[in-house]
Structure 1
Amino acid sequence: MEMVKITLKDGSVREVNKGTTIFEVAKDISGRLAKEAIVGEVNGKTVDLSYVINEDIELNILKFDSDEGEHSFRHTSSHILAQAVLRLFPGTKLAIGPAIDNGFYYDFDSEHTFVEEDLPKIEAEMKKIVKENLVLERFELPRNEAIEYMKKRNEDYKVELINDLPEDEIISFYKQGEFTDLCAGTHLPTTKPVKAIKLLTLAGAYWRGDSSKKMLQRIYGTSFPKASLLEAYLVRLEEAKKRDHRKLGKELKLFTLMEEGPGFPFFLPNGMIVKNLLLDYWREVHTKAGYQEVETPLILNRKLWETSGHWMHYKENMYSLKIDDEDYAIKPMNCPGGMLVYNTEMRSYKDFPLRLGEIGRVHRHELSGALHGLMRVRAFTQDDAHIFMLPEQIKDEIKNVTKLIDEIYSTFGFKYHVELSTKPEKSMGSQEEWDFAEKSLQTALEELDLDFVINEGDGAFYGPKIDFHLEDCIGRTWQCGTIQLDMQLPQRFDLNYIGKDGEKHKPIVIHRVAYGSIERFFGILVEHFAGKFPLWLAPVQVEILPVADRHNDHAYELKKKLSEYGIRVEVDDRSEKVGYKIREAQLHKYPYMLVIGDKEANGEEVAVRSRDKGELGSKNISEFAKELVEEIKSKKFDL
C-alpha cells in the first residue's frame, strides 16, 4: 500500500495509507479529536472531513473554536433548518442559507406566512433531524444536469444561482437524507454534532438584496455543540439588548436619530459632553506623543479626488455636488487633505517623522438598510493622523502607533486582537511595493511580540493595514483602530523631501486612527459600560437630592462649591419624595448622589450614595470633592 506524509500544525509528521480520509486521521490521533473535529484545512484550504488524502499535505484539523469550524457548523445548521421547513411546509422554495457571525439564516419563498409561534415547531423538527444522524454527502453535476436537477425539484432560485455561476464552475451539492441543497460547502460529516439550536427572529428580505425583486421570509438562528454554550450566548444576547446604545442613548439623552436626517445623528447636550471629553483625551495623548493638529476642508474639488484615486475607486460612496459649474465632493476621508497640508512647504529628512493629526468630519453614502444607530452612519468624525517618514523609520513608527492605540484602549478597559490585511483585488501600485509594505507591517508586529492573524485581500486600495478589533465586557468584538502603510499617495500627490544627499525623495506615509469613528466608538462605549460611564466621562457626575423644598438653597450652594472643583453637578429640586428622586438618579446612571436633609443643610457634611456601591455614609464636602477630583484624574473605571 502506497504511503503519504501528513505534516500537522504542531510540526509533527505522520505517514498514512494513500486514500485515508481526514476523519480517519483525526480518529487515529485521538477519539476526542475525532468527536470534536468539524472540518480540515489542507495546504491552507478548508475541506470536509471526508476529504481523501492522496498526496503529501500540510493538515490542520479544526474544531468549533476556530472561525472555519464555527462557520461550517453553522452552515450545516442552516441546511438542517431548510430541511425542517420543507418537512413542515411542503412546497416551500429555497433561496439562500449562509452562516453569519454568531449564527445562520435561511431565506424562504413560502405560501405559509411564518410567525413567532412557528419557530418552536421548526426547532423541534430540527432536533429530530439531528437525532437521525444524517450523513452529509457531497456530489457534483455538470452545469446542464445541475439545472435540470433543480428544475425537477421546483427550485427556481437555485436554477437562477446556477445560471449566474461561471461556465467552468464545478456545481456541487450536499445531500442529507431526503434533503439536497446547492452548496459549495464545507459541512459537518453528519447532523449529529448540532446539539443545541435556537431560532431567534423572523425578517423580510428581498431576493438578492434587490428591492425590485420578491420579498422572501428569513429565519435567523444560532447553534452550538453544547447546550451550555447556547445558554451562555442567550444570556449575552439578553445583556446586549439591555445595553443597546440606541435605547440607552434615548434614556440618557445622549443623542437622537431623526427622519429628517437618516444616518446623520444629532448629539444632545449630555452626548456632547461625552464626545468632547473623548476628543480632549485624544488631544492630550497625541500632544504628548508629538503630533501636531491640523484641519482640512469639508468640500474639495474633483481634481483632488482624481489625484487620490477616490473618484475612480470610491465614487459610489461619495456625496458630490457642483460649485461654479465644477465637480466637488464632500470628503469621505481626511487623507487627501492631509497630503495637501504636507505640500504647503518643502520638507527635509530632518523634519521626519512628521506626525499630523486631524479630527475631521467625513461623509459616506451608506445604503439605508445598513444604517444602525451610531455604529453605521453617513456622517462621522474620524481621528485621523498621517505620519510622514523615511523608510528606515517605518518599524519604529508602527510600534509607536501600536503602543499609543494600546494606551487608549486600556484607558477604557478594552482587550483587543490584531489582524494584518493584505492587498485587495482593486489596488494601486506595483506588487513589489505591496510586498515591501506588507513585510514592514508584519515585522513590526512580530518585534512587538503581538499575536495577529492574516486577513487576505482586505487591505485599503493604496496599501496594507493593521486592524485592531476591540472586545467589550460581554465578549463582542468591534473593529476600530487601524494602521495603513501607504506608498501610493506620496507618488500621486508628488510629495517630496530633501534627503541627506541634497536630492528629492518620496516619503512613506502611515495613515492611522485610534477611535476610528468617534460616533461609533461613542456607541461602543455606551454598550461597554451599559450607560454607566466612569466618573471622568459621565455627563452629570453628581446629582444633589434635597429632601424638601427648604433644603433647595443649601443644595444650590453645594452645587456652586463642587462646580468650583470642575465637577459637573445638577440639583433635582422637584417636589417629589427623596426615594423617588434616588430611583430616578439611578435610572439616569449618575455616579454619585448627595442627599440633603436637615442635618446636612446645617453642617459641612453630605450623605453620599454611589451608583455602584450604594450608601457610603456621611463625608466632609471638601474631602469628598477632592476624592472626586482624584478619581476623575485617574480615569478609573469599574466594569
Structure 2
Amino acid sequence: MSQLTVTVIRPDERTEQTVETGTKAWQLFADEPEVIAARVSTRSTDDEPALRDLSHELSEGDLVEPVAIDSADGRDILRHSCAHVLAQAVQDLFPEAKLGIGPPITDGFYYDFDVETPFTPADLEKLESRMRKIIKENQRFSRRVVGDDEARVELAEEPYKLELIGLKGGASTSSTTQDFEGANVEVGAGELTIYDNLDRKGEVAWKDLCRGPHLPTTRRIPAFKLMRSAAAYWRGDEKNKQLQRVYGTAWESKEALDDYLHRIEEAERRDHRKLGRDLDLFSFPDEIGSGLPVFHPKGGVIKRAMEDYVRERHIQEGFEYVGTPHIAKEGLFHTSGHLPYYGEGMYPALDVDGMEYRLKAMNCPMHNLIYRSRQRSYRELPLRLFEFGHVYRHEKSGVIHGLTRVRGFAQDDSHSYCTPEQAPDEVAHLLNFMLSLLRDFGIDDFYLELSTRDASKDKFIGSDEDWAVATQVLEDVARATGLELVPDPGGAAYYGPKISVQARDAIGRTWQMGTVQYDFNQPSADRFNLEYVAADGTRQQPVMIHSAKFGSIERFMGVLVEHYAGAFPPWLAPVQVQGIPIAERHNDYLLDLARRMKAEGLRADVDLSDDRMQKKIRNAQLQKVPFMLIAGDDDVEAGAVSFRYRDGRQDNGVPVDEAIRRVAEAVASRSQV
C-alpha cells in the first residue's frame, strides 16, 4: 500500500510522520481523547489552514494541528454540534418546526425555528431530555458534499435552508449572512455540504445544511444546558418573519459548565440595570425614549465625581478644556467623512431655518474647527483639546442594553494635534494616561486590541503608505506596554487604525474601554485642511489622534456598577457615611456630626426614620454605604460613635474626630475598601 508524509504541528514541536494512503485525521490522535477536530493545510497550496472533521482523509504534505475540545475552536465545534442535536430534538418533538440557523456564539450557541407557538420553559425541559437521549445514542456526524440542485431536493421542506442555498449563488462561490447578534453563518466555501446524523445502523436519523466541522459523535458532548428562548427576526432583519430562538451553552466538562452557570448567576446579581433601580441611581423613562438614560441624585453624585476627577487629570496631563454644541450643519459631517462612511449611525437630518442639521455622533469635526480657527505653529504642538462631549447614535433597538449600549451619551473625548514625528510619543502618552485612569477606578486587568483595516473593503480611506505608518506606530506603542496585544483585522475606523483597551472586571468578563485612534485623513487638504507652520516656515499637515479614556461616561458607570456589584469605593459612593441613631434622642448628635463631615467635603446622611436600629443597619447595607456611624447614650456621653464598615466589622467607642479622620483618609486615598 502506498504511503504519504504529513507533519503534525503542536505548540512546541513539529513531527513528520509517514502514514498509509487513506489515513484519517483521527488516526493521528487516537490516543488523545481531548482532540475532537484538526486544523489542516497543504504545503502545495496557498490556502489558509482549515478546520476539518477527524474523519478528514489526509493528503501528501498536509500540515495537521490537533484541536482540543477545551480550546476556542474546540468549544465552537462542540457548541455547533450541540446546536445540531438541539435542532434534531426540536424536530423530533415538534415535527412541524422549520429550521433557521444554529451557530456557536460567545459561551454558547443558539438555533432559530419557525414554529406556530413560542417555546415554554416546560418545552425546554423536554428538549433537554430528548437531547440527552440523542447524545446517549452516539450518533455519528457524517459530512457529504452536494450540488445545489441536490440540496434543494433533499431540503425541499425547509424554506429557510433553501433561501441560504439561494444566497450562496452557486457551488463555486461563498457568501456570509450576518445575524444581528454578530454570528457569521457561512453558506458556501467552494462547496455545499450536508451533515447527516447516523444512528448505530448507519441510517440517517437527521440532517442539516452545514459547513462544519463537527464532533465525531454526539456522545462527545460532555455537558450542556438550554438557557432560554426568545423571539428573533430571520437573519436579523425586522422586515422578515419572527422566529423562535433557543439559546444553550455547552462545555468540555461538567465542572466547566457548573463554573459558567455560577458566573451567570453572579452576573445577574451584578446586573447594573437591576442595581441601578435598587440603589436609585438612574432610569430609562419610556416618555424620553429607548437608550436615553436619566441620572437620579445618587447616580448624579457618581457621575459628577467621575467627571470632576477625569477633568482634573486631563488638565494635569496637558489638555485644554473646550465645549461644542450638540448639533451642526450637515455639511460639517460630509467634510469629516462621517456621513458617507458612518451615516447609518447618525440620526436623520433636522430642518432648521430651511437648512439641514444633524445631531452630532462624534466631537472630532468641531475640535478640528477649533484647531483651524487661527494659524498654528509647530511650537504649539502637540495641541490637546478635551471635552465631555454629548453625542447621539442611532443604535438599533435590539442592541440597546442599559447604560452599556445607549443612544445618547457623554464621551471623555480628546483630540491631540501633533507633528508626525511627535505621534509615537503622543500615542504612548495617551495610552499610559488611559491605563492609569482605569487603575485609579479599580480596574487593573486588561489587554490591548489593535484594529486594522481590511484592504479588500471600501469602507477605509487613505493611502497604503499612510495606513502602514499609522498601524506600525500603534503596534510599536502597544507592544512597549508589555500587555497582551490581540489583532482585530478589519476593525479599524474608516479614517485610521486604533488601539482599544479590553478590561476584565471582578468576575472575569471583558469590556471594551477607551480607544486611541491615529487619524491622517481628517486633517488632510481634502477634509479640514489643517496646517501648522513648521520650523522652516513651510505649512505642514498635522497628525490627529483621537482618544476617549472611558469610551463613554454612561458605559463606564455601567461597568463600574457591575465590577463593584454596586458597592463603590468610598470616594465614588453616593453616600459615604450613614448615621444611625439608636433612639430619636440621638438624632441631633449625629446630625451635628454629619454637618461637620459635610464641611470636610464628605457625603454624610442620617437615618431619621422610625425603624429600629437593626433595620437601619440593614437598609444601609442594602444601599451599600461604605461606613455607618452608630450612636447611643454611651456614645453621646463619650463624644464617640460605633464605627461600622460595610463588610460587618465594627469598632466601638471611636472618638468623633477619629471617625471623621478615618472616612476622610479613605476617600482621599481612593481606597477600594
- TM bin, normalised by shorter chain, reads over 0.9
1:164 aligns with 2:130: no
Shift of 1:46: 4.0
Deviation of the 1:21 alpha carbon: 4.6
Q: Contact 2:87/2:99 (CA < 8 Å) preserved in 1?
A: yes
CA–CA distance in 1 between the matches of 2:217 and 2:393?
45
Q: Does 1:146 align with 2:146?
A: no
The SS at the match of 1:117 is: helix
Shift of 1:272: 0.7
User: Superposition pairs for residues 267-282 of structure 1, below 5 Å?
Assistant: 267-282=295-310
Contact in 1 for aligned 2:627/2:644 (Cα 8 Å):
yes
Structure 1 match to 2:188: none
TM-score (norm 2): 0.90
Give the number of equivalent residue pairs. 632
What amino acid is aligned across from residue 239 of structure 1 in structure 2?
E
Structure 1 match to 2:93: 88
Q: Kindly tell me: are residues 215 and 53 of structure 1, through their superposed partners in 2, closer, same or farther at Cα, counting changes over 3 Å? A: same
Which residue in the other structure is 2:602 paired with? 567
1:407 aligns with 2:436: yes
**One-letter identity of the residue aligned with 1:466:** I
Q: 1:465 aligns with which of 494, 498, 507?
A: 498
Check conservation: 1:46, 1:68, Cα contact below 8 A.
no
Secondary structure, counterpart of 1:480 in structure 2? strand
% identical aligned pairs: 41
Q: Which residue of 2 aligns with 1:616?
A: 651
Aligned to 1:123: 128
Q: Assess if the C-alpha contact under 8 Å between 2:70 and 2:252 holds in 1.
A: no
* 2:139 alignment counterpart: 134
Is the partner of 1:219 in helix, strand or coil? strand
Instruction: Report deviation, 1:60.
Output: 4.4
Deviation at 1:189, TM superposition (A): 2.9
User: What is the alpha-carbon distance in structure 2 between the residues aligned to residue 485 and residue 16 of structure 1?
Assistant: 50
Q: Please tell me the residue identity of whatever aligns with 2:102.
A: G
Residue in 2 aligned with 1:482? 515
* Alignment match, 2:80: 75
SS of residue matched to 2:366: helix
Gap change, CA 1:449 and 1:629, over 3 Å in 2: same
The alpha carbon displacement at 1:117 in A equals 1.1
Tell me the SS of whatever aligns to 2:291: coil
3-state SS of 1:512 partner: strand
The answer for unaligned runs of 5 or more in structure 2 is 42-46, 174-190, 199-204
**Is 1:443 matched up with 2:476?**
yes
Q: Contact conserved, 2:523 with 2:541, CA < 8 A, in 1?
A: yes
**Is 2:144–2:195's contact at 8 Å kept on the other side of the alignment?**
yes
C-alpha change, 1:113 and 1:480, in structure 2 (3 Å) is same
Letter in 2 for 1:478: W
Provide the rounded CA distance (Å) in 1 between the counterparts of 2:562 and 2:416. Answer: 32
Could you tell me how far apart the structure 1 residues matched to 2:358 and 2:562 are?
34
- Among 450, 456, 474, the alignment partner of 2:489 is 456
Q: Which residue of the partner structure matches residue 316 of structure 1? A: 344
Q: Secondary structure at the match of 2:140?
A: coil
| Residue aligning to 1:550 | 585
State how 1:132-281 maps to structure 2 within 5 Å: 132-151=137-156, 154-167=157-170, 168-169=172-173, 170-177=191-198, 178-261=205-288, 262-281=290-309
2:314 matches 1:286: yes
The CA deviation string for residues 396-441 of structure 1, in whole angstroms up to 9 with x for no partner, is 2222222222212222332112111110431111222222222221
Retained in 2: the 8 A contact 1:417–1:470?
A: yes
**Please, which of 540, 562, 566 is the counterpart of residue 505 of structure 1?**
540
Alignment pair present for 1:47 and 2:51: yes
TM-score (norm 1): 0.94
Q: How does 1:574-585 map onto structure 2 within 5 Å? A: 574-585=609-620
Instruction: Indicate conservation of the 8 Å contact 2:448/2:478, yes or no.
Output: no
SS of corresponding position for 1:386: strand
Amino acid in the other structure paired with 1:165: K
- Distance in 2 separating the partners of 1:113 and 1:368: 21
Q: Secondary structure at the match of 2:220?
A: coil
Q: Which amino acid aligns with 1:504?
A: R
Alpha-carbon distance in structure 2 between the residues aligned to 1:296 and 1:546: 48
Mapped contact 1:9–1:59 kept (Cα < 8 A)? no
Bigger Cα displacement from structure 2, 261-270 vs 2-11: 2-11
Matched-pair contact (CA < 8 Å) for 1:26–1:37: no
Give 1:397's aligned residue.
426
1:23/1:432 CA distance change after superposition, 3 Å: farther
Distance apart, 1:64 and its partner CA? 4.2
SS at match of 1:462: coil
1:505-544 equivalences under 5 Å are 505-544=540-579
**Matches of 1:26 and 1:358 in 2, distance apart?**
58
* Secondary structure of the structure 1 residue equivalent to 2:125: helix
Distance 2:8 2:69 in 1: 22
2:334: which partner in 1?
306
Q: What SS class does the counterpart of residue 351 from structure 2 fall into?
A: strand
Within the candidate set 350, 366, 373, 1:344 is matched to 373
Letter in 2 for 1:200: M
Q: Deviations over 1:240-269 (max 9, x none)?
A: 111111111011110011111221101001
Cα contact 2:594–2:604 (8 A) shared by 1: yes
Residue 434 of structure 1 pairs with residue 436 of structure 2: no
Letter in 2 for 1:199: L
Give the Cα–Cα distance (whole angstroms) in 2 for the partners of residues 363 and 111 of structure 1. Answer: 39
Q: Is the 1:223–1:230 Cα contact (8 Å) retained in structure 2?
A: yes
Query: Structure 2 vs 1, CA of residues 635 and 305 (structure 1 numbering), >3 Å: closer, same or farther?
Result: same
User: Which whole-Å CA distance do the structure 2 matches of 1:218 and 1:229 have between them?
Assistant: 24
Which is worse superposed, 412-421 or 380-389?
Answer: 412-421
Q: Distance in 2 between matches of 1:253 and 1:311?
A: 38
Note closer, same or farther for the CA distance 1:172–1:22 as it changes in structure 2 (3 Å cut).
same
Q: Per the alignment, do residues 444 and 16 of structure 1 end up closer, same or farther by CA in structure 2, a change over 3 Å counting?
A: farther
Please state whether the residue corresponding to 1:347 is helix, strand or coil.
Answer: coil
Q: Are the equivalent residues in 1 in contact too, given 2:5–2:16 (CA < 8 A)?
A: no
Secondary structure at 2:299 match in 1:
helix
Match of 2:14 in 1: 12
SS in 1 for 2:551: strand
Bigger mean CA deviation after superposition, 113-122 or 97-106? 113-122
- Does 2:437 correspond to 1:416? no
Alignment of 1:374-393 (within 5 A): 374-393=403-422
Query: Are 1:72 and 1:187, in contact at CA under 8 Å, matched by a contact in 2?
Result: yes
CA contact (8 A) 2:4 2:60 kept: no
